[in-house]
């Protein structure tokens, strides 16, 4: 049982790491778009709404797709009053409870809501309210939905790892993502 839980945890961590590392490439692209936009606006006196909106979308996609990656690496925000002083098994119990009672319901509820936004945006062929803005607004809404799904999957993987620790697995049963290459 422990081994199956740890294998599942490893698979979710690998998926989240690959998506997170791929999303990191959005930031150099964002910097390029920013440089082009600033150069055109201040160097040539011509601004483009499309570039400005693209900046927003690239930034949003970058951090949304990094949520699960942050969770794998334990880089997420934590209000830590007692957790740091706990031994491994109580830490695992707190992580498991928080994941199952707080994070997973949040990700599922928000994911369902996000899916409704995607479907509605797709159905009405929503685009920017600006005349020269970006078309297909459903794309960024789909990124939100995908990121929440990935976060829910990673939450299940984290829960599996913590459950394995409670069943007696090594407390350093953190997923090994060192071999992940994108």
Residue 177 lies in a domain: no
Residue 64 lies in a domain: yes
Instruction: Kindly state the percentage of the chain with pLDDT values over 70.
Output: 93
Residue 123 lies in a domain: yes
Give me the pLDDT at residue 175, please.
Answer: 58
What is residue 22's three-state secondary structure?
Answer: helix
Residue 173 lies in a domain: no
Residue 34 lies in a domain: yes
Domain range for residue 104? 2-74+85-166
Average confidence (pLDDT) over 128-150: 92
Supply the pTM of this predicted model: 0.86
Residues 45-86: tens digit of each pLDDT = 888 889 999 999 999 999 999 999 999 988 877 767 777 788
pLDDT level of residue 182 (50, 70, 90 thresholds): very low
Tokens of 128: 């920017």
Residue 174 lies in a domain: no
Write down the mean pLDDT value for the chain.
90
Residue 112 lies in a domain: yes
Q: What is the dihedral of CA 50, 56, 58, 64, to 10 degrees?
A: -150
Residue 51 lies in a domain: yes
Q: Is pLDDT above 50 for 146?
A: yes
Looking at the structure of the chain, the number of domains it has is 1
| Listed range (108-112, 132-136, 160-164) with the worst mean pLDDT | 132-136
What is residue 48's three-state secondary structure?
Answer: coil
Residues 15-44: tens digit of each pLDDT = 999 999 999 999 999 999 999 999 999 998
Average confidence (pLDDT) over 4-23: 96
């Amino acid at each position: 049982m422990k081994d199956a839980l740890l294998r599942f945890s490893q698979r979710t961590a690998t998926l989240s790491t690959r998506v997170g590392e791929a999303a990191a490439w959005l930031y150099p692209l964002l910097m390029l778009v920013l440089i082009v936009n600033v150069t055109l606006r201040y160097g040539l006196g011509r601004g483009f709404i499309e570039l400005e909106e693209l900046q927003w979308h690239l930034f949003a996609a970058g951090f949304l797709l990094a949520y699960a990656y942050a969770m794998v690496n334990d880089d997420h925000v934590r209000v830590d009053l007692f957790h740091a002083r706990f031994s491994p098994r109580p830490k695992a119990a707190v992580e498991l409870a928080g994941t199952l009672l707080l994070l997973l319901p949040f990700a599922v509820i928000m994911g369902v809501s996000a899916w409704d936004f995607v479907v509605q945006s797709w159905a009405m062929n929503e685009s920017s309210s600006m005349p020269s803005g970006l078309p297909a607004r459903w794309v960024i809404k789909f990124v939100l939905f995908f990121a929440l799904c990935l976060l829910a999957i990673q939450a299940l993987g984290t829960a599996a790892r913590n459950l394995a620790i409670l069943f007696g697995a090594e407390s350093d049963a953190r997923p090994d993502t060192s071999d992940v290459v994108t």
